Amino acid sequence: MPHSMKPHYGSPITECGEPLVPIPLERFAWVSPHPYMALAAPYGDKSPFFVRQTVLERLDQAQAHLQEQRSGWRLQIFDAYRPLGVQQFMVDYTFQTVVAEAGLDSTIMTEAERQTILERVYEFWAPPLADPATPPPHSTGAAIDLTLVDQIGIPVEMGSAIDELSPRSYPNYFATSVNPEEQRYDADRQLLCESMESAGFLRHPKEWWHFSYGDQLWAWLYQQANPDFGAIARYGRVEELTKSA
């Protein structure tokens, strides 16, 4: 199964019961229209611009750190909370997009072709698993995708688009480049990372834009960096929290 390649799913979860809260968009920049809503992803009465309470507090701290380094710059929120149905929708959409780009027909693909494309999709997208023990990070309210805008509100060029399925999306892809433009991409990726890490977030190993605090991926990354200390996720899937409330 593709999800077996994601070691963070072994991290235990002790749900803290903290609520989802809206991100005050007047304090941040944000992408509008929301990219997945524009595709008709099934949010229902939910919103992508929600996170857990402590995650929001730490997001404010990260932006304050950023503005100490770059006056007037802001974090631009691309995506945060995703119901499980939205995760399924976006995985299916991405799969079909990759199939079309490869010139294939999903109705007559071989199983080997299907698995090859799924592996590519799951490198960047978490499997939309229904098991409460393995929630997609965004379905916990603990993960957020974001970038930077400058002092006049122009998005900073980071070297790849958010959600791009290519090695250019790896955080350190441009780290050894001698090209001045690509060196700027790397410097701004590191500025984003430093700002988020200053508030306790940790970055996805393969996505420069994805950060989380308190979910399974965060706990696993923390444990890798601090092997003498145990780390337990404090946020599980929000749908499970709602059922138990």
CATH number of domain containing 234 = 3.30.1380.10
Contact indicator for 13, 235 with CB cutoff of 8 Å: yes
pLDDT of res. 208: 98
Question: Per the structure block, which two tokens stand in for 194?
Answer: 């430093």
pLDDT of res. 245: 42
pLDDT of res. 124: 94
DSSP H helices in the chain: 53-69, 84-101, 111-124, 180-197, 216-225, 238-244
**pLDDT tens for residues 19-60?**
999 999 999 999 999 999 999 999 999 999 999 999 999 999
Eight-state DSSP code of residue 75: E
- C-alpha–C-alpha distance, residues 212 and 138, integer Å: 9
Instruction: For residue 242, give every residue at least 6 positions away whose Cβ sits within 8 Å of its Cβ, in sequence order, or none.
Output: none
Q: How many residues does the chain have?
A: 245
The maximal CA–CA distance of the chain, rounded, in angstroms, is 55
Q: What one-character-per-residue DSSP string does 21-39 give?
A: EE--GGGSEE-SS-TTGGG
Identity of the amino acid at 156: V
**How many domains does the chain contain in total?**
1
Q: Which domain holds residue 80?
A: 2-244
119, 181, 207, 239: the catalytic one is 207
pLDDT of res. 130: 86
pLDDT of res. 244: 45
Contact indicator for 70, 150 with CB cutoff of 8 Å: yes
Please identify every stretch of the chain with a pLDDT value under 50, giving residue numbers as ranges. Answer: 1-4, 244-245
- C-alpha–C-alpha distance, residues 55 and 20, integer Å: 9
Q: Is 18 designated active site?
A: no
CA 95 to chain centre: 18
User: pTM of the predicted model, to two decimals?
Assistant: 0.94
Pairing mode of beta strands 29-30, 74-79: parallel
User: Which run of H or E residues covers position 77?
Assistant: strand 74-79
